């Protein structure tokens, strides 16, 4: 973005009023050069929501407006509708609360779905989700896309993947439509059925697929790679390699027993936001807890893992991710790539998404000190960690790395795909 002005101290504001009538905004202070120009790609912001040279700063520092509840989470609920963003400019370095008269405003749109991408609601058997198919005949690599313990269904990442040539099934696994609102155990058959639905699509590669997981869904993704032979690639974001909170059964037997956190493992920061103690995460990975670990070392040959976390994660999944790496290496496995991103928090979204430093969370699963009490802490204001600039760098790196990872281990490693390609020669 380049602006030509008189010699002013411009204040750029960005706002998104299109998120279910919740308003998010950010601002940045700049000083024009001798030509009356500012270029956010090369010039440093001197104040506002961020400082320094940060071209994506106005987007990634979007946060609830001062009049809004501060723990709102910004994400696109309907990816078929583009973001509508207003960028305005005022004279003088003011705060978000001290808006002056606008010198000028432009309206921007950010599209999540490319032209020709198909969005197909899935309600087959017990499986609930939304399938996004890229434009064209394919065959395309397919992935199942899951988020964490917030539940429900998030479609924005699957829409973006399909726009880049990867068929993606955004999969709900609780707290959506007729699925249970709270669960104590999962059946692997549910995820097996989702895998079958994805692979049955005419434009999707038939013999293998991948999984993307975030936070809680990581133990489920690792289990899919371990027990379901078509799952050959897992990209795990900020998740533990241990069955957390919920049991997992397959063919009528418990294959993973969920470990519970205690109330004493949680802490409040100075602003009364909940987070997990780092020592509590370290204590998960003791010899007596080894049976809670997903035995990813037993996955079929040719199954690969990409596990990432931020080192400023308030839930310390960097510790859990490094323990996963340690276990795989100790067992002689070389099929796991692990990356710890400096300055990133728990939430590493697609590029130029707003940093989710804090948000309201539906519940956190713990065992209360009073055994007669509920095992769910509900209505939690949680802190997730990270800073905007480093998290943005992590977003950019992971987005490219993850797509290359799936292309390599699904499309390029697929005998079915190679035979199809050979038959067309």
Q: Would you please indicate which residues are annotated as catalytic (active-site) residues? A: 215, 312, 346
One DSSP character per residue, 256-273 reads: EPPBPPBGGGEEE-TTS-
Task: Report yes or no: 356 and 347 within 8 Å, Cβ to Cβ.
Answer: yes
Q: Would you call the peptide bond into 215 cis, given omega within 30 degrees of 0 as the criterion?
A: no
- The structure tokens listed for 306 are 């990409």
- The structure tokens listed for 51 are 């400082």
d(CA 154, CA 237): 15
d(CA 124, CA 177): 13
Q: Classify residue 55 as exposed, middle or buried by CB count within 10 Å of its CB (0-12, 13-18, 19+).
A: middle
Nearest to 231 by CA among 414, 368, 25: 414
Strands 358-365, 336-341: parallel, antiparallel or unpaired by DSSP?
unpaired
d(CA 411, CA 404): 10
Angle at 306 between CA 305 and CA 308, to 5 degrees: 140
How many whole angstroms from its chain centre is CA 6?
A: 42
246 contacts: CB under 8 Å, gap ≥ 6: 183, 184, 185, 186, 258, 365
């Amino acid at each position: 973005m380049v602006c030509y002005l008189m010699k002013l101290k411009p204040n750029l504001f960005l706002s998104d009023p299109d998120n279910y009538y919740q308003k998010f905004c950010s601002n940045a202070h700049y000083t024009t050069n001798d030509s009356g120009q500012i270029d956010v790609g090369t010039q440093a912001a001197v104040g506002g929501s961020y400082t320094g040279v940060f071209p994506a700063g106005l987007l990634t520092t979007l946060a609830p407006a001062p009049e809004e509840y501060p723990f709102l989470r910004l994400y696109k609920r309907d990816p078929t509708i583009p973001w509508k963003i207003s960028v305005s400019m005022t004279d003088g370095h003011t705060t978000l609360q001290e808006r002056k008269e606008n010198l000028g405003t432009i309206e921007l749109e950010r599209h999540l779905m490319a032209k020709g991408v198909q969005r197909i609601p899935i309600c087959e058997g017990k499986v609930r989700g939304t399938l996004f198919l890229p434009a064209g005949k394919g065959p395309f690599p397919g992935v199942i896309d899951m988020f964490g313990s917030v539940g429900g269904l998030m479609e924005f990442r699957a829409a973006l993947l399909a726009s880049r040539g990867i068929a993606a099934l955004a999969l709900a696994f609780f707290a959506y439509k007729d699925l249970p609102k709270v669960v104590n155990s999962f059946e692997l058959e549910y995820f097996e059925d989702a895998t079958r639905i994805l692979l049955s699509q005419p434009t999707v590669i038939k013999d293998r697929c991948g999984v993307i997981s975030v936070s809680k869904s990581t133990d489920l993704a690792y289990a899919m790679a371990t027990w379901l032979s078509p799952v050959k690639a897992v990209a795990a974001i900020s998740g533990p390699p241990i069955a957390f909170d919920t049991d997992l059964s397959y063919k009528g037997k418990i294959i993973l027993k969920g470990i519970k956190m205690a109330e004493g493992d949680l802490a409040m920061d100075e602003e009364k936001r909940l987070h997990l103690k780092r020592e509590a995460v370290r204590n998960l990975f003791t010899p007596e807890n080894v049976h809670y670990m997903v035995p990813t070392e037993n996955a079929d040959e040719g199954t690969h893992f990409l596990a990432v976390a931020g080192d400023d994660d308030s839930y310390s999944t960097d510790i859990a991710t490094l323990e996963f790496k340690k276990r795989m290496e100790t067992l002689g496995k070389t099929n796991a790539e692990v990356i710890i991103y400096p300055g990133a928090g728990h939430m590493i979204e697609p590029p130029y998404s707003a940093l989710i430093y804090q948000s309201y969370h539906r519940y956190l699963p713990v065992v209360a000190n009073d055994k007669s009490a509920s095992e769910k802490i509900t209505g939690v204001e949680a802190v997730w960690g990270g800073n905007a600039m480093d998290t943005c760098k992590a977003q950019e790196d992971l987005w490219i790395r993850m797509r290359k990872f799936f292309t390599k281990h699904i499309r390029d490693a697929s005998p079915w795909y190679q035979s199809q390609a050979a038959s067309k020669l």
